[in-house]
Structure 1
Amino acid sequence: MLSTPIAVSDLPPDPTRLQPESSFVQLLEQASAAGLWSLDAATGQVSWSERLAELLEAPQGYTPGAEQGFEFVAPDWREEVEFLVRRCIHTGEPFDREVQVLTYGQRRAWIRLLGHAVRDSRGQVVRVEGAVQELSPRAGPGGLLRHTAGWGLGGAGGEAFATVDREGRFTYLNEAAERLLGQPANRLLGRGLWGVFQKTVRLRVEERVREALEQHRLLELEELDAPQNDWLEVQGHPFGAGLALHLRNVTARRKSQEQLRLLEGSIARLNDIVIITEAGPFNEPGPRIVFVNEAFEVRTGYNRDEVLGRSPRFLQGPQTQRDRLDLIRSALEHWRPVRVDLINYRKEGEPFWVDLDISPVWDKSRKLTHWVAVGRDVTERKANEEKIQYLAFYDGLTRLPNRQLLLDRLNALLAHREAIGEGALMFIDLDNFKVLNDTLGHQKGDLLLQQVAERLRASVASTDTVARLGGDEFVVLLQPRRGAPGEAEAAASAVADRILAALGEPYVLPGYLHHSTCSIGVTVFGRSPSTVSELLKQADLAMYQAKRAGRNTVCFFDPQMQAVASANAALAADLRLAWRHQQFELDYQPQVDVNGRMTGAEALLRWQHPQRGRVPPDQFIPTAEETTLILTIGRWVLDRACEQLAAWSRRSDRSHLSISVNVSARQFRHPEFVDEVMDAIARSGVAPNKLKLELTESLLADGFDITVNKMGSLKRMGVALSLDDFGKGYSSLAYLKRLPLDQLKIDREFVKDVLTDANDAAIARTIIGLAQSLHLQVVAEGVETEEQREFLAQHGCDGFQGYLFCRPMSIERLEEFIEANLVQLSPLKLS
């Protein structure tokens, strides 16, 4: 078996054994003492004849296995034999070589190895068949001449072959040798080998021949012969009677070498690296280097003497780069040019990239003589390409994959959904991150995001993907795995718990210890066809559900969530149309004091939809906040309320009335909110204290210091501030005492059962007492019965609002109502 595969993809195995050409059959018939062998081109399997096993001194009955094909060839000859066989498979070129073998008796012997291609009906080489004949002294004193004659070496197609005796005189020449030397055999027999060379070198040749004969070693010569004035190569193989000689005219090769030396002056100073190697098989160690230019020496740090005779493979260092080397190997074995980017290593070990063009060089007879490799140092280009690649697919701040790389990986997984099992996509959003950025600055915000990225990477397996979408949004893609139903949810839940714990640990920022949490939405994929956009939307919806559930929690996506989201999307579209078509209105609900006198009204937003009818605020205000339409609507409400206050201020019987306006958390946090309030007051010309802003307790959960500062600015303008729905949310005494409030409003939930529920009664009394101790007014909402009003009034409640007095109404009806009740608004008359 060859050390590298011989089989080629375009040579399908043909089980039909074809008869070789008649000339080769005749040759084998003449070689009765030859050992035969055959090699399958598709598999590389070699089979032997019994005679070959006998020549190789193999054990009786021994047949080679898949790995013993050419093991009998001596190691120093094996590479050449494999090259000859491979060339025969690819080009059909036969071969005839003398090589040494190492028999199974551990004896070195010289053999003659012949090989011939066998083709099928399509002309494809399917097998190489050959013969082996021993040329060692074991063949007997006259054996060599007998065998050479038996092999038909005198034929027109043979190589030049001769023998000399122990004195170095010719004892045999075949026809090819006569033609090569330009003299008939009868003129050369008995003459010394050195006599065929020019006089200036004969003494040197004679000395070399005698040394080879005396020391019984291989003779190698390359000198100018006398008659032809050509360069003659002689290889002499010792045998009992003298030397067996192979003679070749190598003038063309010498001219090629001269051309290489001429080329050296032209290419030595090129900036590109130039390497020229001899032709040969691309096995280990590979073709040997015969030339390098100065650019090679400069860029690699090796001088010429250090690399000549070596394989270029030593430049590749510890990294094998198998894919690129296999590409080069395939091209060279098929004698095709190839271009490839390759990492090489300088003498000191530093890597550098080379854009390498490798081309074959042929002589006039189309014989491959050399390989020429021209390389350009493209290290800087590669570094720029890697940088561009990094910028395209990774987040510069956290070094995590970005949205594009996440989408690519998710698309690849979904394309093989049926084969990979179930995975999970997790959408992670930091809680209250904007507050950190607003209070401590973006630099500390960036440091926090980097620490979050590190903790996320540490919380998942190396095969999972952690990506940053932007801002404080991260996505974790859990690699799909095959398992029982429910395992994907369990695995995702475990990872989510680890992430919650990791991101909940304190963050050490310069001069500040920050505490943060996150909300996580999870969707499982792999059970049914899904698109990337659908999965991201599902995980995002689940994350917002986790936010609404109180944050610092995990929520899994379910179809009902999608239905709610679709309904909200439709509602959002209707809201935009409503604003465009002026479908919003303001109703007013009076507020009265303990004496039943009207002190003001609360402005309540209403939506009159042409199909839906009158839509309650609790059904559309949350959607308006999510779409930011609440900012536009909120400014309109402020303007309308101030305009109404301005109209009342012009009448003495109404100038004492105030209007309360609800402000959403998103509206209040807008950077321009204070300016908008000032502009509305300035345009209308009303007294600021007549405008009362009702704030929700949710404002106290995030950015408390910012909230206090904004409330302080409004208070200094003279605007009255009320805390709506007190007792339901985030209030605490520590917060309450720092807020510049004018009023607390008791939520209707506590008022509703104040007469029947001891807890609600206690809460109502506590709120009233707290307001009194802080010198704040207190107003009860949702008062529907006289008994509720009396209970609250007895405990010190200052004002009331509810159906006991009046339902919300349009401004036109309210004006009529006020006109009819100018003296006093008593519960009896308003019910």
Structure 2
Amino acid sequence: MSAPNPSLRKTIGGKPALPRRFTVEHALILVLVVLVAAHSVHFVLPYETLSTMVTAQSLAQLEMASTALIIIIAGAIYALMSERLKTHRVINEELRLKHNTDLVSGAAMRGHFLDDLKRTVASHRKSGSVALVIIDIDHLKQINDALGHGAGDDVLGFCARIARQAFPGASVGRLGGDELAVFFSSDDVIPERYVTDACSAYLATLREGLFIANRRQAVSASLGVALAPGHTDNANDLLSFADLALQQAKRGGRGAWSVFSPEILADARQERFIERELRAAILLGQLTVHYQPIMDTDGSLNSLEALVRWHNPVRGAISPAEFIPVAEKSRLIHELGLYVLKQVCDDLETLPDVSVNVNISAWQLAHDTFLRDYVDVLKRKNVPPSRVVLEITESAMLDTSDDFVDRMADIKRAGFRIALDDFGMGYSEFNQLRKLPFDIIKIDKSYIQNIGTDVVTDTFVSAVTQIAGKMDRTVVAEGIETQDDRLRAAVAGCRLFQGYFHQAPASRDRIVALYSAKALTDAA
């Protein structure tokens, strides 16, 4: 075995020790020790011995000189050590700030921000006030997917920087992936108008956007506001109330702000009630499925759309517009979707021999077991996937990333057909028609019912039908409520029609009776 390398550092507890350096402080301390030892020699040696070495006058002079040197050196050591400590304090403060600061946005880290918020709210319980604003950046995931995560980081930094300008003197923190927060305090009551004006100014500046890859990128955000002690004097409740206000702003269409109110809290409690009751309804089998026909140009039945209905024993009929958003928010939507699919499979034995559209949500598509769970239901019910069309709302289709396209391809390989619902609402992109492998395009009723009255609508519907024809895809006109709606949609190029003009959603028995009778009449 070779001898150990003397240049290797010694270890303490198995970890490398810091290398020792002989500094100026060390030298001064060594000199100080020597001087103190020399200065104290007369306390150790007998007087007779000292008197033979030096005179009393010389000894006194030496003592005075050594005392002066000791004071000078001690002062130098103190000055050097003070400077060294000051430097260490600066370094430690920089490290602390670095540890407590999000490197992407430059805002405070979540834990540090919330600790500061709690301290500030506690200190203003008896006087003054605190305003908290939670900022949710709209569609940041789409920016990441379309332009890359670097662009998303730029947007985060931009939003944090503008927050410091719109809310001067405020603390800015990052709560999560696409969420920032701002709080500021005052020894007086902060007027709600002051906060909302700042929110409006913030959103206006965001809309001006920033340059990413030499292109201006507009940015939108949703804001939720809560005040202490106006709404609560508890920091945790303040955070919850601001989040409830944020959800209200998002439900209102995003790109806006909302201030907490007791009504919002009542709505949140209502949501929790709906969630609890809906969970029970799924478990107890209290939901039913109705079907709305989709008709061909010749008036024959082409397919059906399955629509869930809920009649609560206490509240009566609850609209899907009320419980579907709660199901999506609470992640009950997957259980609800499986419930509907099982009911459809049971009904297929008696329904007309056409395919049935089953609605699925964005969250379900992102669920790891979504496809496996749906395929398992069909296998247990002995139903071929070709009888089922998965109808996806347009909000789910914003994502055209490779991962999402692969998920869609997996659905197609499993044997399902895919319909794009409500095309034209919100953030429609013709890029979706090109990249995503769906079979059916359902144009939203707001366009269908305005054909012939608006040149933009006419151009949009015509473009969709022409593109669909070139790509061998089917177009369904939704919201057909009158004969005129149907005629205009047909002239625009639509070949399938759905709406109350043909048939309102009805129970399985009604659909069976209606279309069995029609089939007999046609045969006669």
- TM above 0.5: yes
Return the match for 1:505 from 194, 205, 210. 210
Task: Measure the CA separation in 2 of the matches of 1:447 and 1:762.
Answer: 39
Letter paired with 1:798: R
Contact 1:694-1:723 at 8 Å conserved across structures: yes
Task: Measure the CA separation in 1 of the matches of 2:169 and 2:493.
Answer: 66
The alpha-carbon distance between structure 1 residues 790 and 434, as it changes in their structure 2 partners (threshold 3 A), is closer
Contact 1:571-1:623 at 8 Å conserved across structures: yes
Contact 2:163-2:202 at 8 Å conserved across structures: no
The alpha-carbon distance between structure 1 residues 401 and 642, as it changes in their structure 2 partners (threshold 3 A), is same
Return the match for 1:662 from 339, 359, 381. 359
1:11-90 to structure 2, matched below 5 A, reads none
SS of residue in 1 equivalent to 2:519 = coil
1:531-577: per-residue Cα shift (whole Å, max 9, x none)?
21232122212323343344444444344433333322322222222
Task: Measure the CA separation in 1 of the matches of 2:404 and 2:237.
Answer: 38
CA shift at 1:627, angstroms?
A: 0.8
Task: Measure the CA separation in 2 of the matches of 1:753 and 1:449.
Answer: 37
The alpha-carbon distance between structure 1 residues 498 and 738, as it changes in their structure 2 partners (threshold 3 A), is closer
- Which has the bigger relative contact order, CA under 8 A and spacing at least 6? 2
Return the match for 2:512 from 815, 819, 822. 815
1:646-795 to structure 2, matched below 5 A, reads 647=349, 654-655=352-353, 657-703=354-400, 706-750=403-447, 762=458, 766=462, 771-772=468-469, 774-786=471-483, 788-789=485-486, 792-793=489-490
Return the match for 2:268 from 540, 544, 565. 565
1:223-242 to structure 2, matched below 5 A, reads none
Contact 2:362-2:395 at 8 Å conserved across structures: yes
CA shift at 1:629, angstroms?
A: 0.7
Contact 2:135-2:180 at 8 Å conserved across structures: yes
1:344-392: per-residue Cα shift (whole Å, max 9, x none)?
x449x53399xxxxxxxxxxxxxxxxxxxxxxxxx99xx999989986x
Could you tell me which residue of structure 2 aligns to residue 477 of structure 1? 183
Consecutive unaligned residues in structure 1, runs of 5 or more: 1-196, 209-219, 223-256, 258-287, 291-303, 318-344, 354-378
Q: Does 1:350 find its partner at 2:56?
A: no
Could you tell me which residue of structure 2 aligns to residue 309 of structure 1? 71
Return the match for 2:329 from 620, 626, 637. 626
CA shift at 1:588, angstroms?
A: 1.6
Contact 1:432-1:702 at 8 Å conserved across structures: no
More strand by share: 1
Task: Measure the CA separation in 1 of the matches of 2:177 and 2:69.
Answer: 55
Return the match for 2:117 from 394, 407, 410. 410
Task: Measure the CA separation in 1 of the matches of 2:280 and 2:302.
Answer: 36
Letter paired with 2:178: D
Return the match for 1:428 from 129, 135, 147. 135
Q: Does 1:541 find its partner at 2:236?
A: no
Contact 1:596-1:825 at 8 Å conserved across structures: no
Task: Measure the CA separation in 2 of the matches of 1:433 and 1:764.
Answer: 27
The alpha-carbon distance between structure 1 residues 454 and 351, as it changes in their structure 2 partners (threshold 3 A), is farther
CA shift at 1:611, angstroms?
A: 0.8
1:218-267: per-residue Cα shift (whole Å, max 9, x none)?
xx989xxxxxxxxxxxxxxxxxxxxxxxxxxxxxxxxxx9xxxxxxxxxx
Task: Measure the CA separation in 1 of the matches of 2:493 and 2:166.
Answer: 58
Task: Measure the CA separation in 2 of the matches of 1:819 and 1:535.
Answer: 59
Task: Measure the CA separation in 2 of the matches of 1:709 and 1:310.
Answer: 77
Could you tell me which residue of structure 2 aligns to residue 139 of structure 1? none
CA shift at 1:658, angstroms?
A: 0.7
Letter paired with 1:415: A
Letter paired with 2:245: A
Task: Measure the CA separation in 2 of the matches of 1:781 and 1:446.
Answer: 36
CA shift at 1:628, angstroms?
A: 1.0
Q: Kindly tell me the number of residue pairs found equivalent between the two proteins.
A: 473
Q: Does 1:614 find its partner at 2:312?
A: no
CA shift at 1:483, angstroms?
A: 7.3
1:102-154: per-residue Cα shift (whole Å, max 9, x none)?
xxxxxxxxxxxxxxxxxxxxxxxxxxxxxxxxxxxxxxxxxxxxxxxxxxxxx
Return the match for 1:532 from 235, 256, 273. 235
1:584-643: per-residue Cα shift (whole Å, max 9, x none)?
221122333233322321111111211111212111111111111112211332343345
The alpha-carbon distance between structure 1 residues 457 and 636, as it changes in their structure 2 partners (threshold 3 A), is same
Contact 2:312-2:318 at 8 Å conserved across structures: yes
Return the match for 2:199 from 488, 493, 509. 493
Task: Measure the CA separation in 1 of the matches of 2:416 and 2:343.
Answer: 16
SS of residue in 2 equivalent to 1:470 = coil
Letter paired with 1:621: I
Task: Measure the CA separation in 1 of the matches of 2:472 and 2:55.
Answer: 125
TM-score by length of 2: 0.71
Return the match for 2:286 from 578, 583, 600. 583
The alpha-carbon distance between structure 1 residues 572 and 484, as it changes in their structure 2 partners (threshold 3 A), is closer
Contact 1:708-1:739 at 8 Å conserved across structures: yes
Letter paired with 1:564: D
Letter paired with 1:500: L
- When structure 1 is superposed on structure 2, of 404-413 and 758-767 the one drifting more is 758-767
Q: Does 1:800 find its partner at 2:505?
A: no
Percent identity of equivalent pairs: 30
Letter paired with 2:302: T
Which has more radius of gyration?
A: 1
Contact 1:754-1:764 at 8 Å conserved across structures: no
Task: Measure the CA separation in 2 of the matches of 1:795 and 1:608.
Answer: 39
The alpha-carbon distance between structure 1 residues 387 and 788, as it changes in their structure 2 partners (threshold 3 A), is closer
Letter paired with 1:801: Q
The alpha-carbon distance between structure 1 residues 643 and 710, as it changes in their structure 2 partners (threshold 3 A), is farther
The alpha-carbon distance between structure 1 residues 307 and 635, as it changes in their structure 2 partners (threshold 3 A), is farther
1:19-75: per-residue Cα shift (whole Å, max 9, x none)?
xxxxxxxxxxxxxxxxxxxxxxxxxxxxxxxxxxxxxxxxxxxxxxxxxxxxxxxxx
CA shift at 1:682, angstroms?
A: 4.1
Contact 1:590-1:602 at 8 Å conserved across structures: yes
CA shift at 1:478, angstroms?
A: 1.9
The alpha-carbon distance between structure 1 residues 707 and 387, as it changes in their structure 2 partners (threshold 3 A), is closer
The alpha-carbon distance between structure 1 residues 705 and 597, as it changes in their structure 2 partners (threshold 3 A), is same
Task: Measure the CA separation in 1 of the matches of 2:124 and 2:277.
Answer: 38
CA shift at 1:661, angstroms?
A: 1.0
Task: Measure the CA separation in 2 of the matches of 1:790 and 1:493.
Answer: 47
CA shift at 1:499, angstroms?
A: 6.9
The alpha-carbon distance between structure 1 residues 424 and 676, as it changes in their structure 2 partners (threshold 3 A), is same
Task: Measure the CA separation in 1 of the matches of 2:488 and 2:200.
Answer: 52
The alpha-carbon distance between structure 1 residues 713 and 221, as it changes in their structure 2 partners (threshold 3 A), is closer
Task: Measure the CA separation in 1 of the matches of 2:163 and 2:74.
Answer: 42
CA shift at 1:523, angstroms?
A: 2.8
Task: Measure the CA separation in 2 of the matches of 1:457 and 1:404.
Answer: 19
Task: Measure the CA separation in 2 of the matches of 1:699 and 1:736.
Answer: 14
Letter paired with 1:505: L
Q: Does 1:574 find its partner at 2:277?
A: yes
CA shift at 1:736, angstroms?
A: 2.5
Contact 2:156-2:178 at 8 Å conserved across structures: no
Letter paired with 2:136: D
CA shift at 1:474, angstroms?
A: 2.0
Task: Measure the CA separation in 1 of the matches of 2:179 and 2:156.
Answer: 12
SS of residue in 1 equivalent to 2:504 = coil
